[in-house]
Amino acid sequence: MELRPILSTLRRHKTTAWLLILEIALTCAIVCNAVFMINHLLQHMQMPTGIDEHGLVQIQVAEVAPLPDIYARAREDLAVIRQVPGVRAVTLTSQLPLGFSSSNANIMLDPTQRTPSLNAGTYFGLDLVRTMGLRLVAGRDLRPDEVLDADVVLKLVAAGQTDTFAPVTVITQAMAQRLWPGGDALGKMLYLGPIGVRVVGVVAELARANAYDDATAQYSMILPMFMGAGKDQSYLIRTRPQDRQTVLKAAVAALKKADPRRVVTTQRTYDEVREKFFENDRSMAGILVGAIAALLVVTALGIVGLASFWVAQRRRTIGVRRALGATRRNILNYFLTENFLLATLGIVLGMVLAYGINLFLMLHYELPRLPAVYFPVGAIALWLIGQLAVLGPALRAAAVPPVVATRSV
Amino acid sequence: MFGYYLDLALRSLRRNKALTVLMVLAIALGIGASMTTLTVLHVLSGDPLPGRSDTLYYPQIDPRDDSGQMPGEEPPKQVTLIDGLNLLHAKRADRQALMAGGYVPVQSDAAAVDPFYTEARFTTADFFPMFGTRFRYGRGWNAGDDEAKARDVVINGELNSRLFGGADSVGRSLRIADTRFRIVGVLDDWAPNPHFYDLNTGSFGRTEQVFVPLQTAMNLKLERHGSNDCWGRGTGGNGRIYPGDTCVWLQFWVQLDSPAKAAAYERFLVHYSQEQKALGRFVKPPNVRLRNLMQWLAHEKVVPDDVRLQTGLAFGFLLVCLVNTIGLMLAKFMRRAADLGVRRALGASKRALFAQLLVESGVVGLVGGAGGLLLAGLGLWAVRQRPSSYAALAHLDGAMLLVTFLLALGSTLLAGMLPAWRACQVPPALQLKSN
């Protein structure tokens, strides 16, 4: 294919050609970054929690009048729920993976350390490993005799008598790897402020409640403290996936029967917890998909429009070329090549722009660097769309009969 | 002349209907998307208390030890109970209030209403005059009631409607956590957005239904709701146990009517920190901040990143749409170069040609702009259907309407002028020669 005639024609329509190149470049740059962000969001939304998500339901209750003994009440409630048919296990927990409302602690390897080694989500409760369905990769779960009521712990800590109890903990593999890279975490000590805690178990995964950042999402630990009944505590019930709704209803009814005056503030399956956590990410991904589609459609229609004009404008020239022996194929190729040239220029410019936008996003929105694979994706998308868009007008051009050359306008 | 040009423009636009629709739609979509996102951004970064915000300040002091539990140079975002009460009692500002969030069970004397939980604010008396809360009935309590731990409560209009059918309920009572409280005031619809005085309980679309004197709430050990940060031996508390002495969990706001007073108050905070250090309570050298309301909101970055990104995306889209329209319009004008050449040869000035073409592109821009306004209305309606906390706030106000109009006008001129100017550069002779 001879490029010279195409270039010389384009030189006669410089402004229009540049506008089209600019449009393709902008579209290419935005689409590259948007696809990247969608991928990033999808990855984030697939975050593993380590728990048996489809077999868990959550109930939160709040009391109208202050309780005389929140610990006794929680034990009674757990006993009541355990009696409900279909309940395989039940526990009281201070937070749920991806539950938003979180409790966290700074972790140190040495009590005199000035800056913490990491910040971890702190789950308080008994029997969490079995109820949540966590996978122990080393050591054991917390034993019932190791778990103290929160009041007892808070009083001891406030009085500075932290050496009178020897707390133990179960941590995640991610946290163990970070604290003791390559080493064995079992039996090691870590510190929450002045309180030393010994690691007795390691679970494969347990996402924290406020897992906004993928890098630190798996830093969680289970501490041996029983929180007692309270509006912020959740009864977490494990059942079979198909029994969730029945068990949920029956458990709520049983709790209401035990004390009709209380208010059930939350009753939902864990799937709903997860759904809620990623709600904004999902809608952002939807908006990005919509934006990509709108951009590509507008650009494609722009190419169609412009090509149609050019074909109409060059009808006579095309007729002359046909009369001089050019085949339909030659004419078709001419317009396809012209569009390919413009698209290529636009894509090259778009790549530079895409890189610039990504640098800006990295600076302001903590987005990672745009991987190089996204560049060819954007390029191929725009080449394809350009060729498809120009095909219609190009076919119309190819259909121009040679006789046009003999007519005066 | 304008009427004639308009007629010519409409004829020309009708000749390529599909193209005209494409150009108008592209501009309308671009403007609609930009205005929707810009309006959301504008609403979210707006001033929650216009006229008052520049006299309201959020003092921060640094009572932490150097155990490094909370790294960073910035002082904590809240205050401890001791410091809060000290600063409150010092009364160095024109007005001051110490507060915390709560979540309390409410029961009505009317048996028909089941007990329910609602968000509460435990605060001292100046909250109401300082933030300029509007009262439908009654008023707030005073500092004396604070110290006396009075069982007074202010409720908002929504709760008043729910419990008393909207009637004047001042003097009547309701039960909070099984304790009887006397209603002293009913707020009008008052819900500043963002929920600036306590960003920990959610920035947007939040409002408390009951307001209880802080010391009364603490005396009754009502359950609090919010965030806390601890160091040393501090623990966040549990249920009816409040966070320890080495935890920050309350918000302290002051009103300072002049910049001079603000400067003096900052000096007071430094002085207070030094005093506490001398007493052995503080360990670090004085580390204070005194930001006014809008500075505080900017510092806390209350506008979600998603909203900024969406705005950027929408403007990127608008740019593509504009380039698209300019390109098409230009191609269209150039196609008529022969006509234009003839008109030039017959004596029409460049200016006349420009005016004629501008009318044509102006019509496209104007219709597109109007369409954009409609689409922005539709877009904002769609935003309001979304589950985000700020969804309900997305409304077009006067300022944004003006911005929309200006944006539409600017886009129109840009999309119209460039092609018109380019096309009327056509040399008349050349066009007559060919064909």
- What does the domain layout of chain B look like in residue ranges? 2-45+304-433, 53-299
Closest partner CB to B105 (pick from A34, A64, A280):
A64
CB contact under 8 A, B331 and A294: no
For position A261, what pLDDT does the model report?
A: 82
What is the residue-wise DSSP string for A271-328? HHHHHHHTHHHHHHHHHHHHHHHHHHHHHHHHHHHHHHHHHHHTHHHHHHHHHTT--H
User: What per-residue confidence (pLDDT) applies to B430?
Assistant: 63
Instruction: Name chain A contacts of B335, Cβ cutoff 8 Å.
Output: 309, 312-313
User: What is the C-alpha to C-alpha distance for residues A218 and B415, in angstroms, rounded to an integer?
Assistant: 51
- Token pair of B391, please? 């969804």
> For residues A337 and A111, what is the distance between their CA atoms, to the nearest angstrom?
70
A132–chain B nearest CA distance, Å: 23
Neighboring chain B residues of A114 at a CB cutoff of 8 Å:
66-68
Q: Averaged in consecutive runs of 10 residues, what is the pLDDT profile of chain A (409 residues)?
A: 78 85 94 92 94 96 86 95 96 93 87 84 92 95 92 84 86 96 92 90 95 92 93 94 96 93 91 93 91 92 88 86 90 92 94 93 84 86 92 91 74
Instruction: Give just the sign of the alpha carbon dihedral A321, A323, A325, A329.
Output: positive
Angle between helix A279-313 and helix A14-45 axes, rounded to 10 deg = 160
- Does B327 contact A64 at a Cβ distance shorter than 8 Å? no
Q: Is A298's CB within 8 Å of B321's CB?
A: yes
Asked if A306 and B306 come within 8 Å (Cβ–Cβ), the reply is: no
Contacts of B68 in chain A (CB under 8 A): 113-116
Please name the helix (run of DSSP H) or strand (run of DSSP E) that holds residue B147, with its range, or none.
Answer: helix B143-147
Nearest to A279 among B19, B26, B387 (CB): B387
Distance CA B284, CA B276 (A): 10
Across the interface, whether the CB atoms of B105 and A283 are under 8 A apart is answered no
| Listed residue (B294, B238, B197, B251) closest to B60, CA to CA | B251
Q: What is the pLDDT of residue B433?
A: 60
Whole-model pTM over 0.90: no
Q: Which residues are A267's β-sheet partners?
A: A59
Q: How many CA atoms lie within 13 A of B142 on its CB side?
A: 1
Chain B residues inside the 8 Å CB shell of A27: 320
Contact A230 B316 (CB under 8 A): no
Question: Containing H/E element for A251?
Answer: helix A244-258
Question: Could you give the CA distance from residue B253 to residue B256 in angstroms, rounded to a whole number?
Answer: 10
pLDDT in tens, chain B (435 residues): 788 888 888 888 888 888 888 888 888 999 899 988 888 888 888 889 988 999 999 999 999 876 554 455 789 899 999 999 999 999 999 999 999 999 899 988 766 677 888 999 999 999 999 999 999 999 999 999 999 999 999 999 999 998 998 999 999 999 998 899 999 999 998 888 889 999 887 777 778 999 999 999 999 989 888 888 888 777 777 767 788 888 899 999 999 999 999 999 999 999 999 999 999 899 888 899 999 999 999 998 888 888 888 899 999 999 999 999 888 888 888 878 778 888 888 888 888 888 888 888 888 888 888 898 889 889 889 888 877 777 777 887 788 888 877 887 787 777 778 888 888 877 766 656 654
Asked if the Cβ–Cβ distance from A305 to B19 is below 8 Å, we say yes
pLDDT of residue B69: 45
Nearest CB neighbour to B330, from listed A15, A23, A298: A15
B320 → chain A, closest CA residue = A23
Distance CA A268, CA A60 (A): 9
Domain ranges of chain A: 4-46+280-406, 53-277
How distant is the alpha carbon of residue B212 from its chain centre?
A: 26
B contacts of A62 (beta carbons < 8 Å): 103, 105, 117
Place of tokens 């009075």: B150
Contact A154 B238 (CB under 8 A): yes
Chain A residue whose CA is closest to B23: A302
Q: In this complex, do B117 and A26 lie within 8 Å of one another by their Cβ atoms? A: no
Q: At what angle do helices B350-384 and B398-423 cross, to 10 degrees?
A: 150
- Residue B8: predicted pLDDT: 84
- The amino acid sitting at B93 is A
Position of tokens 């580390």? B287
ipTM of this complex: 0.85
**Ramachandran assignment for A182, one of left (phi > 0), alpha (psi -120 to 50 degrees), beta (any other):** left
Alpha helices in A91-243 (DSSP H): 128-132, 150-158, 173-179
Q: What is the pLDDT of residue B387?
A: 72
Nearest of A322, A296, A279 to residue A384 by alpha carbon = A296
Total residues found in chain B within this entry: 435
Q: Judging by DSSP bridges, how do beta strands A195-203 and A148-149 pair with one another?
A: unpaired
Chain A residue at shortest CA distance from B418: A15
Task: Specify whether the CB–CB gap between A216 and A118 falls below 8 A.
Answer: yes
> What does residue A190 show for φ and ψ, rounded to 5 degrees?
-135, 160
Instruction: Kindly determine whether residue B117 and residue A231, on different chains, have CB atoms separated by under 8 Å.
Output: yes
Residue by residue, what is the 3-state secondary structure of B188-208? CCCCCCCCCCCHHHCCCCCCC
Beta strands at A263-269 and A56-62: parallel, antiparallel or unpaired: antiparallel
pLDDT attached to residue B395 = 81
Q: Does A106 sit within 8 Å of B320, measured CB to CB?
A: no
Contact B68 A65 (CB under 8 A): no
Closest CA to A169 of A150, A134, A196, A135: A196
In terms of Cβ atoms closer than 10 Å to its own Cβ (0-12, 13-18, 19+), residue A7 is: exposed
Contacts of residue B304 in chain A, CB cutoff 8 Å?
A: 280
Nearest residue of A to residue B29, measured between CA atoms = A294
Radius of gyration of chain A (CA): 33
Are the CB atoms for A378 and A347 separated by under 8 Å? Answer: yes
Q: How far is CA A283 from the centre of its chain?
A: 11
The H or E element that residue B247 is part of is strand B247-248
Q: Provide the number of CB pairs (under 8 Å) joining chain A to chain B.
A: 162
CB contacts, 8 Å: B240 with chain A: 66
Q: In this complex, do B29 and A294 lie within 8 Å of one another by their Cβ atoms?
A: yes
Dist. CA A151–CA B239, nearest whole Å: 10
Tell the residue number behind the tokens 């369409």, with chain if given: B371
The encoded tokens of residue B296 equal 């505080």
B68 and A113: CB-CB below 8 Å?
yes
CA distance B41 to chain A (A): 15
Task: Please say whether the beta carbons of B119 and B207 come within 8 A.
Answer: yes
The residues, ordered by sequence, that sit 6+ positions from B47 with a Cβ below 8 Å of its Cβ are B53, B293, B294
Q: Can you give the pLDDT at residue B296?
A: 94
Shortest alpha-carbon distance between residue B93 and chain A (Å): 34
Name the residue of chain B whose CA is nearest to A71's CA.
B239
Number of Cβ within a 10 Å radius of residue B410: 14
- Record: contact B240-A310, CB cut-off 8 A: no
Give how far A136 is from chain B: nearest CA, Å.
29
The per-residue pLDDT of chain B, averaged, comes to 87
